[in-house]
Amino acid sequence: MRKQAGRPGIKLKKTVRTSAPAVAELLLEIGVEELPYHFIVPALASLKESAERLFRDQRLAFQSIRTLGTPRRLTVVVEGLATGQTSIIKEAMGPSKTVAFDQAGLPTRAAMGFATGQGVAVQDLQVRQTPKGEYLFAVKHEKGQPATSVLVDVLPRLVSALTFPKAMKWNETGVRFARPVRWVLALYGGAVLPIEAAGIKASDRTRGHRVVGGGKWLSVRDAASYVRILERQGVIVDPQRRRQLIQEQIAAICGKTGFRLNEDEALLDQAVYTTELPSSIIGSFKDAYLDVPEEILITSMKEHQGFFSLRHKQTGKLVAHFIAVANNRVKDMSLIREGNERVLAARLADAKFFFDEDRKVKLADRSKKLAGVTFHQKLGTMEQKQERVRKLAGFIAAHLYPGQDELRQACDRAASLSKADLLTGIVGEFPELQGIMGGEYALHDGESAAVAQAIREQYLPKAIEGELPKTIEGQILSLADRLDSIAAFFHVGIVPTGSEDPFALRRHATAIVRIMLEGNLRTDVGPWIEHAKTLVSDSGFKGTPDAGHQGRRRIVEFLFERVRHYARVVHLLRDDVIEAVLKPAYDKPLDLVDLGQKMKALE
């Protein structure tokens, strides 16, 4: 039995690192059938995060982790990965000395049980002085395992742990993945790791571009040769390089033509992650289609074909041209261009047909048919929703701008037509154009510009940094629509929980906060909440038992939660400042602008 002193404050199982192994590079590629482009970025982020966590848990030190990826491959490169686990010393405190030894100094059952449990001999236990007195300690030296043996065990888990919005099974292993895994490349220090993932044995081989590289098998030695050899075979594996290349190609086209790009980051992401060898080309369509509202043309090009729309540099008007990013590079790109033009022409012809047909029926007539459209099974029809919004919009208009009858009438009319475009062909084809098309058709029907613009702006803002309604009528209609949705869903007990928010109520609340604060609309929104609740309850929908006074407080708390979020994200305010203002505000007039100003004053 060894005795040590002077080690006060020892905690259970304190671990100390004792070695710094040599390092090598790890390259892991999962080769797959073409992945949906919107699966790739989350998968690469998850792959990196999982790898970092896995290596730390396994005591494998590393210098850096980066990911690469295309529609046909997900790759992780780990630089400076230790060739062995870090060796550690584990210490465990056991019973006190008085309990561990009898009067003759022989170990008791307590001491022997502790030694057995820790896997050490009784004679190797140490007695140390602690603030509580003398206690037994077991000290174990755990030597790190070679990295290769650890990697063989954990890398298959890294692959199988990846999750996707949709996954499939394709072989007897039962592994679920977004698309079938066709090959696995795994190299550590230039040597193949003998792992098996998704039923595939790893090798040092990858595949090039299906067309340009002929899908040949390619042997690589390390990450540098992997990137270099793949590029020679038509695969630019680094997404950032593909992004830069696409941007340079588009800039060159615009420089030659005098056009400018309709900037769209989401569409650029799509181009990056649907290609391995991006080649940008310009195409055209008939000028006659420019008579169709540009939102329809832009959306049709983007949603159906993934094409970029273009504008004239001087006038800013949409031009009858587009840019497509092909996943190929051939000497004569005219065949690809002509194919794209042919497919787009058919799409635009369909869009023009819907647009022409839609204008044959007035929005007012379509509104009468909203009784056949369900808003929610617990909350009736879209006709009932629109009528509540109409009444609430009039109430808000009268409250914000008393005596302005013309404004109230414009809000009333806009609200009474606000959901009619849901029954149009264009919105049926492109739901993201709801509101926009309603405004377009309202002008065609002879409605005032104020009414049409309010209908167009009712869904703004669409995000925390999105464009706000520019008109008073648009602000009021947006506020009424969103507050009605919150009141209605809260009435029947459908509220956001955790990450679940299927009816985008948080987005609605954030929009209300933004419109009020950034529009400097100083007023008590408490009466709006009460009126919205009354309109819902008067509709006869069965509410939750606490849908009364508690329902109001829950809506206020919900709005305050978005005020907190807005104050943190936009104004970078501290939590203590935010709470100092909000805590006393629950039972006072709910002037959101006033609350915001008080927070800034306290900061």
Give residue-wise pLDDT tens across range 144-161: 889 999 999 999 999 998
User: What SS3 state is found at 350?
Assistant: helix
Does the pLDDT at position 19 exceed 60?
no
Give residue-wise pLDDT tens across range 60-94: 999 999 999 999 999 999 999 999 988 878 889 99
Does the pLDDT at position 124 exceed 90?
no
Contact between residue 425 and residue 357 where contact means Cβ atoms under 8 Å apart: yes
Higher pLDDT, 463 or 260: 260
Contact between residue 292 and residue 344 where contact means Cβ atoms under 8 Å apart: no
- The whole-number pLDDT of residue 94 equals 92
User: Mean per-residue pLDDT for 274-301?
Assistant: 96
- The whole-number pLDDT of residue 4 equals 46
Pairing of strands 2-4, 126-130: parallel
User: Mean per-residue pLDDT for 458-471?
Assistant: 91
> Which of 20-34, 121-135, 283-297 is most confident?
283-297
What confidence category does residue 458 fall into, taking pLDDT thresholds of 50, 70 and 90? very high
User: Mean per-residue pLDDT for 415-436?
Assistant: 96
Does the pLDDT at position 312 exceed 80?
yes
What confidence category does residue 21 fall into, taking pLDDT thresholds of 50, 70 and 90? low
Q: Which of 146-160, 220-234, 367-381, 542-556 has the lowest mean pLDDT?
A: 542-556
Give residue-wise pLDDT tens across range 50-66: 999 999 999 999 999 99
Give residue-wise pLDDT tens across range 528-567: 999 999 999 998 888 887 777 678 889 999 999 999 999 9
User: Mean per-residue pLDDT for 384-403?
Assistant: 96
Question: Percentage of residues in the chain with pLDDT exceeding 70?
Answer: 96
Own/partner long-range contacts of 423-429 (Cβ < 8 Å, ≥24 apart): 423/366, 423/369, 423/370, 423/373, 424/354, 424/358, 424/366, 425/353, 425/354, 425/355, 425/357, 425/358, 426/296, 426/351, 426/354, 426/355, 426/358, 428/354, 429/350, 429/351, 429/354
- The whole-number pLDDT of residue 173 equals 86
- The whole-number pLDDT of residue 91 equals 87
Q: How far is Cα 51 from Cα 57, in angstroms, rounded to an integer?
A: 10
Structure tokens at 58: 């396994």
User: Mean per-residue pLDDT for 311-328?
Assistant: 96
Give residue-wise pLDDT tens across range 563-591: 999 999 888 889 999 999 998 888 889 99
Which CA distances in Å does 486 have to 236, 491, 535, 592?
47, 8, 12, 17
- The whole-number pLDDT of residue 5 equals 39
Q: Give the chain's end-to-end CA distance (angstroms, integer).
A: 61
User: Mean per-residue pLDDT for 427-456?
Assistant: 97
- The mean of the pLDDT values for the chain is 92
Does the pLDDT at position 11 exceed 70?
no
Contact between residue 474 and residue 456 where contact means Cβ atoms under 8 Å apart: yes
Higher pLDDT, 310 or 123: 310
Q: How many beta carbons lie within 10 A of that of residue 526, not counting itself?
A: 16
Does the pLDDT at position 235 exceed 70?
yes
Give residue-wise pLDDT tens across range 166-198: 999 998 888 899 999 999 999 999 999 999 999
- The whole-number pLDDT of residue 6 equals 36
Instruction: Give one DSSP letter per residue of 88-117, joined into a string.
Output: EEEEEEEEEHHHHB-TTS-B-HHHHHHHHH
Show me where the domains of the chain are located: 23-85+146-232, 88-142, 241-358, 365-602
Structure tokens at 97: 């000395």
Chain centre distance of CA 86:
36
Does the pLDDT at position 227 exceed 90?
yes
- The whole-number pLDDT of residue 1 equals 53
What confidence category does residue 485 fall into, taking pLDDT thresholds of 50, 70 and 90? very high
561 sits in which H/E element: helix 549-569
Q: How far is Cα 18 from Cα 537, in angstroms, rounded to an integer?
A: 68
